[in-house]
Chains A and B, each alone.
Chain A
Amino acid sequence: MKINLRLYGFLRTAIGFRQIEMDVDENSTIGDLPEILIRKYGNRVRKHLFGAEEPFEDLRVLINGLDYAIPDELDKTFNENDVITLLPPLSGGIGGINDTY
């Protein structure tokens, strides 16, 4: 199924686009995203997603403009044509034991 990614920061620079359309398996989840991106874009994204600068668990994930918490909601599945935005941690403040709302 098709999903749309909106990228910022290191990921955008590494991949070279602000927006990309991707084909992913049905029932793909937020947690599958690092592997999906590494399979397609290789090492140039691996070092960011698993490195110190912008590790995946620090990113802010929006699906259709709504926040999903990492790691609590890694198993959230995508739907056809979802717009997934991956933002670096720019402001906000993360703390405490995460409760989903």
Chain B
Amino acid sequence: MYKGAYTGKTLWVDLTHLKFWVEKTDPELARLYLGGAGFGIKLLYDLVPQGTDPLGPDNVLICAPGPLSGTNAPCSSRLTITGRSPLTGAVGMSTSGGEFPAAMKQAGYDIFIIKGKSEKPVYLQVAGDKVVIRPAEKLWGMNTVDTQLFIKEDLGDLNYRIACIGQPGEKLSLMAAIMNERRASARKGLGAVMGSKNLKAVAVLATGELDIADPDRYKKAHRDLLARFKNSRTLYKGLAKYGTSDAVDVTYALGIFPAKNFSDTGNFGPMEKIGYERMAEDIIRRNPCYKCPVGCSQVRIAREGDYPGVLTEGPEFEASFSLAGATGVDDLSALYLADRLCDDYGLDNMSVGVTIAFAMELYEKGIISKEDTDGLDLRFGNHKAMIEMIHKIAMRTGFGDVLADGSVKAAERIGKNSEYYAMHVKKLELPGYDVRGAKAHGLNYMTSYTGADHNRGYSAQEIFGGSIPKRVNRFDLDGKAELCMWNQVVETVLCDCSTFCSFLFSNADSFLDPSVEQGISHELTERRIATVTEMLASATGIEFSPAEIFRIGERVNVLARSFNIREGITRKDDYLPKRMAEEGIPGGPSAGAKTSKEDQDFLLDEYYDVFGYNPDGIPKLQRLKDLNLEDVAKDFVSLGFIKI
């Protein structure tokens, strides 16, 4: 049935009855949704009815790498985990890399679908046909490092690759991550979903290899892609050497490195202490994902500061923003320790940092005091207080319990009009770009189906001055809706569904044909994505065309939005935090920039139009039919969202 790349097997696990069974991976699913997030979102829509409690037994966790994961395609070992997010109520889809995704395919499975709730803590062992649901009471209370090692020893094989939760997931923190090695499917609280099922870990063992449908054709596409990697101006010279930390200086140079909970962007930015060149001095090795020739993940050790000797795989740019920029911290060793703690505990370091920053701003403004913060002097820049808060959040102690579910829930508990300071879209904390200075990136935050999510439609054109598909002025509004849609559709299908690493998308000349002239038409886009399409077609044996691949990206985005609409998440939720409309960026090269409500409405109106939505942001009937989303069309008619 499957000529290559796919394994053809989907493992269902019912934790309520401690049962599992294997079904064939539906070929129609592969043809229309490709893999990864495509599988996750389609299955989520079908399996999780309207109003399902995200922390209840009827929510599902869908683990799905892409068809290329586990092959020798470079940068393709990527895992997507999908469920209804308890943090946002919307689609929760989170990605990670490392070894687990490849190992899961090589263990024989395209998809794990996990539902129900076990009475007692368990973990799942998958080694080819051998599938066992094992007791995990001894593991409950362990952090993610100890959990992974303990399971490997328990199973007597260090080659197991393990995705697991730590204490935050067990305690249902809405910022809980699912960790594999030190890679994180961090965002949207999926760690809490796993914890709510009493599922501590999933352990997979590679037991075989994947077929390639047309090896000669695939070899040529593979060679072409690697040549493109080599010719990229930035992939090996920038990303491989420095990791993502270069974005600290880049965003600061643009005046959009968010500082002090987005209240001091453009002013605070101690690059000599936390910039990429300073961080490069502490690199002791690189840690590539499975079959990745880039190796962007840098391991660093602190040599000075208040926490010398701390070792961390990172910090990535986002952690450098959330745990230094947003919190006003300039002690690099404290940043390393904070990054390390979030990995060890299993926490989304982005939401954690921005939530602590939210609390810091409240503290500085006198809205909360030491009485609320367990005596901690929670000023911006107090890195010791930040470290202490991370422990409290992870273990839900004291004030940590107030912050453990993110800034929006914290604002609800604190009251006193504190919600103005919660920097989020759809309750997901903002990533590390002050998008008042980058309009397409801001529109992406507004409209991403998971909430504010830089990786679902990254605007490398604005952030890095990239010219694929075209150069832009980051402050312009015109043309940004079309660009945002392009970014979202292409990144969704080529990164989240195929799966390839998102960093190829933000180093686009490594991935998309750089010889194609600038422009955003279908014809130009199809030429740009031809090589990647060829890899997918030759590996899978399914004759995808570039047009079909682009269509899959559209389909997945529209379906994800449809899930959200069904849950009551609509146009009213597609706006940036009020601060971004009312306050200009305080200083630096983007001083004064804001995105007014009128600007946001302008962008949304155009975005809905290019995506085929009506002015309320609901997909039009014909658009749903054109994208083979007849089920959604039926639902929307019966729910009254579309009138015929």
Contacts and interface: CB of A to CB of B under 8 A. Distances in A.
Whether chain B is bound by chain A comes out as yes
Interface of A: 6, 8-9, 12, 18, 58, 60, 62, 64-67, 69, 83, 85, 87-101
A10 B509 CA distance: 23
Contacts of B242: 90
Given A87-B253, A93-B507, A95-B514, A64 B589 contact: yes
Interface stretch (B232-240, B377-385, B615-623, B627-635): B232-240
Nearest to B509: A93
Contacts of A85: 253
A61 to B, nearest CB: 9
B467 A95 contact: yes
B476 A101 contact: yes
23 contacts: A6-B253, A62-B465, A66-B475, A67-B465, A69-B465, A69-B467, A87-B249, A91-B460, A91-B506, A93-B233, A93-B460, A93-B464, A93-B466, A93-B467, A93-B468, A93-B512, A94-B466, A95-B512, A96-B468, A96-B516, A97-B517, A99-B518, A100-B471
Nearest to B245: A90
Contacts of B511: 93
The 6 closest A-B pairs by CB, nearest first: A65-B589, A95-B514, A92-B464, A93-B508, A92-B466, A90-B246
A66 B589 CA distance: 8
Interface string B459-483: 0110111111111111110000000
B516 A62 contact: no
B515 interface: yes
A87 B468 contact: no
A64 B266 CA distance: 12
B254 interface: yes
| B253, B467, B510, most chain A CB atoms within 10 A | B467
Of the four ranges (under 10, 10 to 19, 20 to 34, 35 or more), the interface on chain B belongs to 35 or more
A101 B465 CA distance: 12
Contacts of A62: 253-254, 465, 589
B253 A93 contact: no
Given A62-B589, A101-B476, A95 B509 contact: yes
Contacts of B518: 95-99
Contacts, number: 135
Interface of B: 232-234, 237-239, 242, 246-247, 249-250, 253-255, 271-272, 276-277, 437, 460-461, 463-476, 503, 506-519, 588-590
A30 to B, nearest CB: 14
Contacts of B590: 65
A93 B232 contact: yes
A62 B247 CA distance: 15
A91 B437 CA distance: 18
A99 B471 contact: yes
Nearest to A61: B465
- Majority secondary structure of chain A interface residues (helix, strand, loop or mixed): loop
A94 B509 contact: yes
Given A90-B234, A92-B507, A94-B468, 13 more contacts: A62-B254, A66-B474, A69-B465, A83-B589, A85-B253, A91-B463, A91-B507, A92-B506, A93-B233, A93-B514, A94-B467, A95-B512, A96-B468
A64 B473 CA distance: 13
A49 to B, nearest CB: 16
A66 B513 CA distance: 26
Contacts of B253: 6, 8, 62, 65, 85, 87
B473 A101 contact: yes
A16 to B, nearest CB: 13
B568 to A, nearest CB: 37
A93 B504 CA distance: 9
A60 B462 CA distance: 12
Contacts of B465: 60, 62, 67, 69, 92
A45 B249 CA distance: 21
A90 B242 CA distance: 9
Contacts of A96: 467-470, 514-519
| B277, B468, B517, B589, most chain A CB atoms within 10 A | B589
A89 B470 CA distance: 17
A18 B272 contact: yes
| A8, A83, A90, A101, most chain B CB atoms within 10 A | A90
Given A65-B590, A87-B249, A92 B460 contact: yes
B473 A66 contact: yes
Contacts of A8: 249, 253, 277
Contacts of A89: 233-234, 237-238
A92 B459 CA distance: 9
Contacts of B249: 8, 87
